[in-house]
Amino acid sequence: MQESAKLDQTISEQWHFHPQLPVGFYPFFEWPPNLKNWLSFVWNYWLQKSDRTIFLALSFFTFYLFMPSMEAMSKLTSDWILMVAVRDLALFLIVTGGLHWWFYMRKSQGIEFKFDTQPELKKNKLFSFNDHIYDNMFYSIVSGLPVWIGFEVLLLWSFASGSIEIYQFSDGWIWFCLWFPLLQIWQSFHFYWWHRFLHIPFFYKLFHAVHHRNINPGPWSGFSMHPVEHILFMSSLLIHFVIPSHPLHVLYHLYWLVLGTVSTHSGYEMIWLKGKNLLTVGSFFHHIHHRYFNCNYGNPEIPLDLWFGSYHDGSEEATKKMHGKFI
Ligand SMILES: [Zn+2]
Ligand SMILES: [Zn+2]
């Protein structure tokens, strides 16, 4: 469908499903602060089953069951690095393959809660192996995974060898707990700026176009990026060199980045099972970015898009306003 034709369509014609509009931001920067919105956010995202609580549980699971000893990690040796690589690969394949299998192979919920039902280009010479999914798998596994493992090994080794001091729960439980939710705000800030930078046409063509070949993303699209973009994407982890952290914070940060991007690109709002929302997975905010390109560079954690004029709230008016405006 031509972009110009979309401009005359109503929202319900443009999308098969969309969440309640406007697609807004979380309440952290609302002024004046609204207690009801804060309580609702904490309840929905931190006190119930959500991507955040699952990644948090997963961080503890990995830390206590699949973490090499601090003594082993104090030296850069292949045995523990290999163990980290194998567990990361396994986790990535389970989550990404699992979501792809659920939505696109088993077609478990058909098009229920799918944002966009237009078929993706599948067989096309544009893609490695002439296949879109294989192409996304290639970039994710051959480029993304080594960058993920590289940052993780660098940080774990730095903790274990004493280059970074480990901030323990006993050093201050308030900071220890607060750093988990604050990490998302930091990541959002970092993401907005490098992402907007990669939309400068010169850099877009060189690096970011790889990710944007996904117009209507699915789980394998999320971590499919050019190696330079992978490094920029994961570089938010360097914050742990300067802000007091524990390896649990690093694991959580990694899962938020990698598994979070897989989930938010799934193309569906939620996993729907037996008439119930099993888990909210998609990000309509970012899905809009994949369709219209020149808007919603950040995510709903910080309203940077609102403050810097690139916010698309999902409405027809916003589409018309954005049309033709490339940054
Ligand atoms: Zn994306
Ligand atoms: Zn982009």
This prediction has a pTM of 0.94
Span from the CA of 212 to the centroid of ligand 1 (angstroms): 7
Count CB neighbours of 49 within 10 A: 12
| Nearest ligand, CA 214 | 1
Span from the CA of 195 to the centroid of ligand 1 (angstroms): 10
Mean pLDDT by 10 residues, the chain (327 residues): 54 86 91 93 93 97 98 97 98 98 96 88 76 94 98 98 97 98 97 97 97 94 98 98 98 98 97 95 95 93 95 88 61
Which pLDDT score, from 0 to 100, does residue 326 have?
Answer: 45
Span from the CA of 212 to the centroid of ligand 2 (angstroms): 6
- Name the H helices within the chain: 3-7, 11-14, 35-41, 51-65, 70-73, 78-92, 98-100, 132-138, 145-160, 173-198, 201-203, 209-212, 227-234, 247-264, 284-292, 304-307, 316-322
Vertex 69 angle, CA 148 and 58, to 5° = 50
Span from the CA of 286 to the centroid of ligand 1 (angstroms): 6
Span from the CA of 114 to the centroid of ligand 1 (angstroms): 16
226: closest CA among 205, 211, 204, 213? 211
Q: How far is CA 312 from CA 144, 194, 316, 324, in A?
A: 29, 19, 9, 14
Span from the CA of 290 to the centroid of ligand 2 (angstroms): 7
Span from the CA of 217 to the centroid of ligand 2 (angstroms): 12
Kindly tell me the sign of the dihedral angle through the C-alpha atoms of 262, 267, 97, 205: negative
Span from the CA of 275 to the centroid of ligand 2 (angstroms): 34
Which pLDDT score, from 0 to 100, does residue 92 have?
Answer: 98
Sequence-ordered list of residues with C-beta below 8 angstroms from that of 161, at least 6 positions apart, any chain: 73, 74, 75
Span from the CA of 246 to the centroid of ligand 2 (angstroms): 31
Span from the CA of 295 to the centroid of ligand 2 (angstroms): 8
Span from the CA of 203 to the centroid of ligand 2 (angstroms): 11
Span from the CA of 79 to the centroid of ligand 2 (angstroms): 37
Residue recorded with tokens 């109503």: 10
Span from the CA of 240 to the centroid of ligand 2 (angstroms): 26
Span from the CA of 191 to the centroid of ligand 2 (angstroms): 10
Q: What is the DSSP letter of 110?
A: T
Span from the CA of 27 to the centroid of ligand 2 (angstroms): 24
For residue 143, give the amino acid letter: S
Sequence-ordered list of residues with C-beta below 8 angstroms from that of 166, at least 6 positions apart, any chain: 159, 245, 246, 247
Q: How far is CA 76 from CA 83, 90, 135, 161, 239, in A?
A: 13, 22, 32, 10, 21
Span from the CA of 65 to the centroid of ligand 1 (angstroms): 32
d(CA 125, CA 136): 14
Span from the CA of 122 to the centroid of ligand 1 (angstroms): 18
Are 127 and 139 a contacting pair, CB within 8 Å? Answer: no
Q: How far is CA 276 from CA 68, 107, 112, 271, 279, in A?
A: 39, 16, 12, 8, 9
Span from the CA of 263 to the centroid of ligand 1 (angstroms): 11
Q: What is the DSSP letter of 279?
A: E
Which pLDDT score, from 0 to 100, does residue 325 have?
Answer: 58
Span from the CA of 249 to the centroid of ligand 1 (angstroms): 24
| Nearest ligand, CA 225 | 1
| Nearest ligand, CA 197 | 2
Which pLDDT score, from 0 to 100, does residue 119 have?
Answer: 74
Span from the CA of 193 to the centroid of ligand 1 (angstroms): 14
Which pLDDT score, from 0 to 100, does residue 166 have?
Answer: 98
Which pLDDT score, from 0 to 100, does residue 4 have?
Answer: 46
